[in-house]
Chain A
Amino acid sequence: QQQVKQSPQSLIVQKGGISIINCAYENTAFDYFPWYQQFPGKGPALLIAIRPDVSEKKEGRFTISFNKSAKQFSLHIMDSQPGDSATYFCAARLPYSGGGADGLTFGKGTHLIIQP
């Protein structure tokens, strides 16, 4: 079964701190792991993504750490800011079967609040 389990469900971090959100997956055939950010009243938007051939990817204050053997990956937000307050979703996707994209399987989301 295609599942992505995300934790914690909610997270409160002080401004300037490090926010860490974790995800675990079951299907070893997944080959693409993105993180999406969603603000209230908006649709999710791609934040950062990684493929399983690398262990870490960094873009600005956002870093994905990937542990293939443990089937886990995590999002780290350094120097967290109030503007980072949003819901974050991890996701996973199977390799393309040809002819187009397959859908992403999403975790249930983490509601992140950065306190000033």
Chain B
Amino acid sequence: DAGVIQSPRHEVTEMGQEVTLRCKPISGHNSLFWYRQTMMRGLELLIYFNNNVPIDDSGMPEDRFSAKMPNASFSTLKIQPSEPRDSAVYFCASSFVADTGELFFGEGSRLTVL
């Protein structure tokens, strides 16, 4: 079975450019999470969706960040405009079984903003 699929795996862009990260969750999962990982701050929850509806976006650092989930099989995280401090690895994760709480992570998108 395919796991959580993220694209691109690596993105290098210049400050001010728009960045779009994509995620395909595991089929049948009804919760989707976006995390950001840096050495300084570890894994931070940015936003999560239940049944395609955003539930908590309190972790989104600024208005420059936005996330959408138009259907159960696709989500995007957009940064516009990007800044060097946005450089990090962005992970998407999905889950289904509520009582185990296991999150299945993708392999991440490494973003470098020059």
Using CB atoms and an 8 Å cutoff, list the residues of chain A in contact with chain B: 32, 34, 41-46, 49, 89, 93, 96, 99-109
Contacts and interface: CB of A to CB of B under 8 A. Distances in A.
Interface residues of B, number: 29
Contacts of B107: 41-43
A89 B37 CA distance: 12
Nearest to B46: A103
A48 B93 CA distance: 17
A93 B101 contact: yes
Contacts of A43: 4, 91, 93, 105-108
Interface string B84-112: 00000001010100111111111110000
28 contacts: A32-B101, A34-B101, A43-B106, A43-B107, A43-B108, A44-B105, A46-B102, A49-B100, A49-B101, A49-B102, A96-B98, A96-B99, A99-B50, A100-B31, A100-B51, A101-B48, A101-B95, A101-B101, A102-B55, A103-B33, A103-B56, A104-B103, A106-B35, A106-B42, A106-B43, A107-B42, A108-B42, A109-B43
Interface of B: 4, 30-31, 33, 35, 41-43, 45, 48, 50-51, 55-56, 59, 91, 93, 95, 98-108
